Amino acid sequence: MVYRNLHCLTVWVLLLSAFLLATASAFAQTSIPGTNFTCTDGAIFSRNRELSDRRVNRLLNKKERKRDRIERKRDRFEEFGRSVEELEERITALEETISAIESCLEDDSGSSGGSGSGSGGSSGEAGTFTCPTSKFAKQVNLFQSLNHNIRICATSKVSDAKVLHAARVMAEYLDNNEDGTPDNADVATALTNKSATLVMFANESDEEGFDPPGSFASQNLYARETVLPGGDGFDFALEEILHIISHEGYAAVYPNDFGEEVGTTLANAMDTARGGRFTSIPSSYPNGAWYTYDDNTCDYGCQATEYFYWAFTSMLGAQNGPRRLSDIEGEWRLNTLAKVQATDTAVYNLITRYQADNRIPTVIPDGTYSGETLSIVTP
């Protein structure tokens, strides 16, 4: 019995030894990266290497496709930029075309007794001062029969209706009671002596190349910002025309009150409205300021001109339209007579003192002047 068991054990030992020797032999023939072992059959590792190469190639191809997509997007953005520039050029050309069409097709209702150069008279009727013919094709003279020559010059691209609308607004400012005579003869004379001229262009591109001559004082107005009675939007003719009247008229005739330099009644009121005296635009205005104009190209005198416009037209009711306050409160917060009277007492007292004897207007122009017939002539 013992012998039989020893025999079985011996057999199992021999079988186990044979198995271990076979395993060791196969392991010795296998190649392991980084060791001295070799492999007579590298199929498995070749397959792994092939799979790794494919993954690398896929990554490289993916990167290349991404680069191509980026290049295509860059090309599209550049093309879009060129399209925007072309569109802006076309819009400018379209504005000029529309202005020219308006001028050609203006009906008789827009001319108020005269239109164009034909019915209004010849260049001989234009008076001593005429618009530069190198730029302007239309001219309106105000109060010429009273030895005043306050004029409007316009290019051919500005419609007759808008030229005459601007003329009526200017006439209403100067002749507020519309009796055909300027309410303040001294102001009208000052404007005449300086050859005060409103120059009208269709838009900015129409203005290009115009260099105001030193022989007259000018203020520009674009047709695109001029709104006829009954039209939509704010009529900026009310602003630009008042600028030339106040700057060349009120400030000249009443320099202590309406002068635009430091120390005048108007300037002192402006300093209070801005929260201090600033000869240049401050980085920020003090809390509580209600006049906060921030155009760095506008010096102290220019600031005074703008301040008078805001206060005066607010008192006359021009700034209280729907949504108007939200449009202007970044610059001016007192958009009604009541607000000016309650807050800016200095400018309120100044303006009402001059309104008391009709030296300055009490009614805002509406473009329907009846004091005299205004017509367009050829310069």
**pLDDT tens digits for 159-210?**
999 999 999 999 999 999 999 999 999 999 999 999 999 999 999 999 999 9
pLDDT of residue 149: 84
Residues 112 and 164 in one domain: yes
Residue 291: beta bridge partners? 332
Residues 128 and 87 in one domain: no
The mean pLDDT value of the chain amounts to 82
Contacts of 109 (CB under 8 A, 6+ apart): none
Residues 100 and 197 in one domain: no
Residues 163 and 291 in one domain: yes
Q: What is the mean pLDDT of residues 305-321?
A: 97
Question: Which residues span the domain enclosing 99?
Answer: 43-105
Q: What is the pLDDT of residues 247-266, one digit of tens each?
A: 999 999 999 999 999 999 99
Contact between 354 and 95 under an 8 Å Cβ cutoff? The reply is no
Hey, how many other C-beta atoms are within 10 angstroms of the C-beta on 272?
17
Q: Among candidates 320, 156, 165, which has minimal Cα distance to 241?
A: 165
Q: What residue spans of 106-209 are helical by DSSP H?
A: 160-174, 185-193, 204-207
pLDDT of residue 288: 96
pLDDT of residue 204: 94
**Rounded Cα distance, 352 and 354, in Å:** 5
| Residue 308 forms part of a structural domain | yes
Structure tokens at 379: 């310069």
3-state secondary structure of 36: coil
Residues 195 and 293 in one domain: yes
pLDDT of residue 38: 47
88, 105, 122 — which closes off a domain?
105
Residue 197: beta bridge partners? 151, 218
Residues 64 and 142 in one domain: no
Q: What is the pLDDT of residues 119-145, one digit of tens each?
A: 233 333 334 568 999 999 999 999 998
Q: How many domains does the chain have?
A: 2
Contact between 192 and 185 under an 8 Å Cβ cutoff? The reply is no
Structure tokens at 378: 């050829």
Contact between 327 and 349 under an 8 Å Cβ cutoff? The reply is no
Residues 86 and 187 in one domain: no
Residues 74 and 191 in one domain: no
Residues 242 and 308 in one domain: yes
pLDDT of residue 342: 98
Q: What is the pLDDT of residues 96-113, one digit of tens each?
A: 666 656 555 544 444 333
pLDDT of residue 215: 75
What is the band of 212 on the pLDDT scale with cuts at 50, 70, 90?
confident
